[in-house]
Chains A and B, each alone.
Chain A
Amino acid sequence: MSVSNPNWKPKIVAFCCNWCSYAGADLAGSGRMAYPADVKIIRVPCSCRVNPLFILRAFERGADGVIMCGCHPGDCHYTSGNYFARRRMTMLFSMLDYLGIERGRTRVEWVSAAEGAKFSKTMNEFVKTIYDLGENRKLGDLRCKK
């Protein structure tokens, strides 16, 4: 997909759980492990707090990519939150795919509080994917008004 606007910068929302991934992002920061400024983080207590509505809302408001990070399965601070989140996101992503939305605009990654490098690497990859996909038009255009 081509980028129509040369000045276009993607808007990327990253939901991070407070206990693992947000701490992992902090660690990436203290380790000066850079990733693009396009990523903006929203802190949530647990990945199970992320409502599919939030993700759709982000797309509706013009986000080009949404990534959710949580504790590794088995390590959830609340024991089971990320297990529920995993099913919810699987279902949501499948539905978006079914509707013909480009794969790759949504992603889930488990990042522990010790994985600053993984956080940085993940964000770099994700931002690259979004640049490759270009602007998010399909979600806004799903209901074409003629």
Chain B
Amino acid sequence: MQKIGVFVCWCGSNIAGTVDVEAVSEAMKSVPGVVYSANYQYMCSAAGQKLIADAIHEHHLDGIVVASCSPRMHENTFRKTAEAAGLNPYMVEIANIREQCSWIHKDKEEGTAKAIVLARTAVAKLLHNKPLQAGTSAVTKRALVIGGGIAGIQTALDVADAGYEVDIVEQRPTIGGRMAQLDKTFPTLDCSACILTPKMVEASQNEKINIISYAKVEKVDGFVGNFKATIRKKARFVDETKCTGCSLCMSKCPSKKGKDEFNMEMNNRPAIYIPFAQAIPNVAVIDPEQCLKLKTGKCGLCEKVCTAGAINYKQQDELIEREYGAIVVATGFKPIDPSPLNEYGYADNADVITSLELERLMNAAGPTKGTLLRPSDLQHPHEIVFIQCVGSRCDENTKRGKPYCSKICCMYTAKHAMLIRDKYPDTKVHVFYIDVRTPGKNFDEFYRRAVEQYGVDYIKGMVGKVAKEGDKLMVRGSDLINNQQVEIAADLVVLATAIEPDPTARSIGTMLTASMDTNDFFTEAHAKLRPVESPTAGIFLSGVAQGPKDVPETVAQASAAAAKVIGLLAKDHLVTNPCVAYSNELLCNGCSQCEKVCPYGAITYIEKEVRGPGVREVRRIAQVNPAVCQGCGACTVTCPSGAMDLKGFANKQIMAEVDAICL
């Protein structure tokens, strides 16, 4: 039988005013297991704690119940007291007789009776407590950043700055991401490349940063502090160490039918190409779908002209296995394809374009060298209609778009309108909008400048139809403020298309057991208080992968994620919460139900020889990784056999509490 001590706190008159503390401590003396019971004015004071410590020594107590304020207040205090007195800190239970008793009851008799039940319940639970030890696990001091856009670059730079190694895995042949495709950035109108490319160079030159481009993460095992990733580096058929980026091969390549992804496929590129002039790494890549040599075996021109001898048609995919302590998801976004939204006529009319396509048309390195020409006839457009919220803020039931606001469109549309009016004052610009949302520093001023200074015509209302008539696009919409239908004969229509997570996000989320919402954005550990962490320990979120955001917000979140990564990597060991689930292998069916409800991916299954009374056989059994488990207990209820239990809140402990309350 365990020896339990009960310590009833008066909390001055807070408890003693409505609870007869003497009667409670007296009543506890007759509860089975209790060998010592006392009461004192302030148990949390130094004198009160000494009283507890002395009793632990004197009466050789195995566990203590402190009947006092909420465990949320002083559980840790009394655990430390117990530990200092040589008792396991998890052999402490708190009976909350203040917040949940004395403070809410006025009748002293009633309060006393309830306090006795609460203390008795805590004793009943404590009789089933077991000493628990917090575990530790080592931390690999390297971070993996998935995605090499501005979010991934910023996180990597900050983590590297703190002295830790970072690998950036980027699926495209170059880092830079969406921001590299932008012409100017709001609200200051800096040229995007001018502020991004120095960061790209910085990342490539930082000796702590290792850029693995044209690659994807294929598999991730392990847990916080101890991840192991398998990365597939795709064959680019060009030796990265030899290629100088001279681009001679590009000019000689006879195949010119590849679509230029960087320019939103508005022009063609050779089969061997460097995505753009400032690409990092500045190394060519061969598109195996377009390369004549790889497809037919005939050609080999690039190999002949390459003075560096970098071309290697036999190059194979390479698998890299690396260990990481933390993983940052910075997988970014893509604009949706607006083709299914028939009313805008995107699929049928070359002159209906998306905003990102417009960025390329206005960029000096774009298909028109920065002169705004409409795609169909390369004529200068004189009347341009912008349509906002294309595929954003849609009724979920109609399945015609995204339910969320894409957040960046109001501002970039104002930017586009302003830039066009500035550069081509003869051009009329109309913007159809539902609301204009400008909650950001200097954002509303920016939008008002577009309206007041640049005379952009904002029309509140949606567009019902875009139809080609002659060489014009007839845009029919409603003007809700003037309560009339409007029709505009436009030369160019620009759709502010919704953005959605990169298509790779879902598979990466599954791989990392990081939860996602129904739109495939990664879910944060707490929407308000832990916005850059995934609920899965050791996984951090950077940029649009977590939700739509603009460049400054992305950079802020990227740095915040980096701070969290640095905080993790700075630790030599992680102390793990000992109140975690564990599976009794003699009872486990290996049925895989528990894994399905674990939000952290903490449960795996192994084949193991199980030995017990009359049992010796190989079985499939569940194993909980205590470093990953957060102790919610979802698995324990899913388990039909009761094999899965939770330390600190075990079935027996809770049952004992139930029994004691209902006694």
A contacts B: CB pair < 8 Å: yes
One digit per residue, 1 when the CB lies within 8 angstroms of any chain B CB and 0 when it does not, for chain A 45-57 equals 1101111111001
Q: Are B71 and A49 neighbours in the complex by a CB distance under 8 Å?
A: no
Q: Is A34 an interface residue (CB 8 A)?
A: yes
**Does B633 lie within 8 Å of A46, measured CB to CB?**
yes
- Which residues 621-649 of B have a CB within 8 angstroms of A? 630-634, 636-638, 646, 649
Q: How far is the CA of A40 from the CA of B117 in the complex (A)?
A: 8
Contact in complex: B632, A13 (CB < 8 Å): no
Total number of A residues with any Cβ neighbor in B under 8 Å: 41
Q: Are B597 and A84 in contact (CB under 8 A)?
A: yes
Q: Choose the segment among A22-30, A101-109, A126-134 that binds chain B (4+ C-beta atoms closer than 8 Å).
A: A22-30
The minimal Cβ–Cβ distance linking B656 to chain A, given in whole angstroms, is 10
Q: Which A residues lie within 8 Å of B632 (CB)?
A: 45-46, 48-49, 77-78, 81
Cross-chain contact A61 with B646 (CB below 8 angstroms): no
A43 in the interface, Cβ–Cβ < 8 Å?
A: yes
- Contact check, B636 vs A49: say whether CB atoms are below 8 A apart: yes
The answer to whether A63 and B662 touch across the interface, beta carbons within 8 angstroms, is: yes
Tell me whether A26 and B105 are in contact (CB under 8 A).
Answer: no
Cβ of A79 and Cβ of B535 under 8 Å apart? Answer: yes
Q: A86 an interface residue at 8 Å Cβ cutoff?
A: no
Q: Are B661 and A13 in contact (CB under 8 A)?
A: yes
Collect the chain B residues with CB atoms within 8 Å of residue A96's CB. none
Q: Is A138 an interface residue (CB 8 A)?
A: no
Are A49 and B657 also in contact (CB < 8 A) when A28-B104, A30-B99 are? no
Instruction: Check: A139 CB closer than 8 A to any chain B CB.
Output: no
Least distance between B517 CB and chain A CB atoms (Å): 10
5 extra interface residue pairs, beta carbon distance < 8 Å, beyond A44-B654, A78-B630:
A32-B103, A49-B646, A51-B654, A52-B637, A80-B515
Q: How large is the interface on B (under 10, 10 to 19, 20 to 34, 35 or more residues)?
A: 35 or more
Is there an interface contact between B636 and A42, defined as CB atoms closer than 8 Å? no
B584 within 8 Å of A by Cβ? Answer: no
Contact check, A29 vs B100: say whether CB atoms are below 8 A apart. Answer: yes
Taking a contact as CB atoms under 8 Å apart, the answer to whether A13 and B100 are in contact is no
Q: Is B379 part of the contact surface with A, judged by Cβ < 8 Å?
A: no
Residue of A nearest to B630 (CB): A78
- Report the separation of the CA atoms of residues A144 and B632 in the bound assembly, to the nearest whole angstrom: 38
B118 at the interface (CB under 8 A from A): yes
Q: Is B113 an interface residue (CB 8 A)?
A: yes
Q: Which residues of A contact B (CB under 8 A)?
A: 11, 13, 22-23, 25-26, 28-30, 32-35, 37, 40-46, 48-54, 57-58, 61-63, 77-81, 84, 88, 120
- B655 — which chain A residues lie within 8 A by C-beta? 53-54, 57
CB distance from A43 to the nearest CB of B (A): 7
B535 touching A29, Cβ below 8 Å: no
Complex-state Cα separation, A79 to B530, whole angstroms: 12
CB distance from B528 to the nearest CB of A (A): 9
Task: Choose from A13, A44, A81, A120 the contact partner of B662 (Cβ within 8 Å).
Answer: A13
Q: B204 at the A/B interface (Cβ < 8 Å)?
A: no
Give chain A residues whose Cβ lies under 8 Å from the Cβ of B526.
Answer: 77
- Beyond A61-B659, A61-B662, whether A49 also contacts B649 by CB under 8 A is yes
Q: Would B106 and A40 count as touching, CB distance under 8 A?
A: no
List 14 A-B pairs, Cβ < 8 Å.
Answer: A26-B96, A29-B99, A29-B104, A37-B101, A45-B631, A46-B633, A46-B634, A51-B637, A54-B658, A58-B658, A77-B526, A78-B632, A79-B515, A80-B599
Question: Are B106 and A34 in contact, CB atoms less than 8 angstroms apart?
Answer: yes
- CB-based contact B661/A40 at 8 Å: yes
Cβ of B381 under 8 Å from chain A: no
Those of B89-138 within 8 Å (CB) of chain A: 96, 98-101, 103-107, 110-111, 113-114, 117-118, 121
Chain A nearest CB from B15 CB (Å) reads 11
Roughly how many angstroms separate A99 CA and B515 CA in the complex, as a whole number?
38
Contact residues in A for B579 (Cβ distance below 8 Å): 45
